[in-house]
Amino acid sequence: MEGTVFAQWLNKCYKNELNELFSKAIVEFNNKPFDASGRKYEEHPGGMYGAVLMQREGRSVELYLDGACGFESIKRIAEALGITLQWNKESNNYKNHTFYTAIIN
């Protein structure tokens, strides 16, 4: 669940930064052919587990993070964006809750 929520936040708040981070992978992806159904899809562009590129004919490329891959994978992508996560010891006070502070560099 942590990875999913964190990925959703990054998708919403860092769309431009994610596109810039994956710009080389997006250019390479644009050169790939569509399949018979008029789609193309690539997981882990640029070797980043948790990222996904997809496109339908006549539409622009969509990049999104799939947090189902786990928190650590999304954390690595956040770190590549310059975001540092700091675990908060307040997490010890709550059952089934973990708190992080995102430090934007």
Q: What is the pLDDT of residue 10?
A: 96
Residue 55 to residue 73: CA distance in whole angstroms: 23
Residue 10 burial (C-beta neighbours within 10 Å; 0-12, 13-18, 19+): buried
Q: Are 42 and 29 in contact (CB under 8 A)?
A: yes
**Residue 13 CB partners (closer than 8 Å, separation 6+):** none
pLDDT per residue rounded down to tens, the chain (105 residues): 788 999 999 999 999 999 999 999 999 999 999 999 999 999 999 899 999 999 999 999 999 999 999 999 999 999 999 999 888 877 677 777 777 788 887
